[in-house]
Amino acid sequence: MDFPWWRVVYDFFRRWCRHGYVRELYQRLRRLERKRQGRVAEPTAAVRERVRLASLSR
Phi, psi of 52 (to 5 degrees): -65, -45
Distance CA 18, CA 21 (A): 8
User: Is the whole model's pTM more than 0.75, yes or no?
Assistant: no
Mean pLDDT of the chain: 84
Please give the distance of CA 47 from its chain centroid, rounded to a whole number.
17
pLDDT at 3: 86
Average pLDDT per consecutive 10 residues, the chain (58 residues; last block may be shorter): 90 95 93 91 69 64
pLDDT at 43: 74
| pLDDT per residue as tens digits for the range 15-25 | 999 999 999 99
If residue 37 lies in a helix (H) or strand (E), which one and from where to where?
A: none
Please tell me whether residue 12 adopts helix, strand or coil conformation.
helix
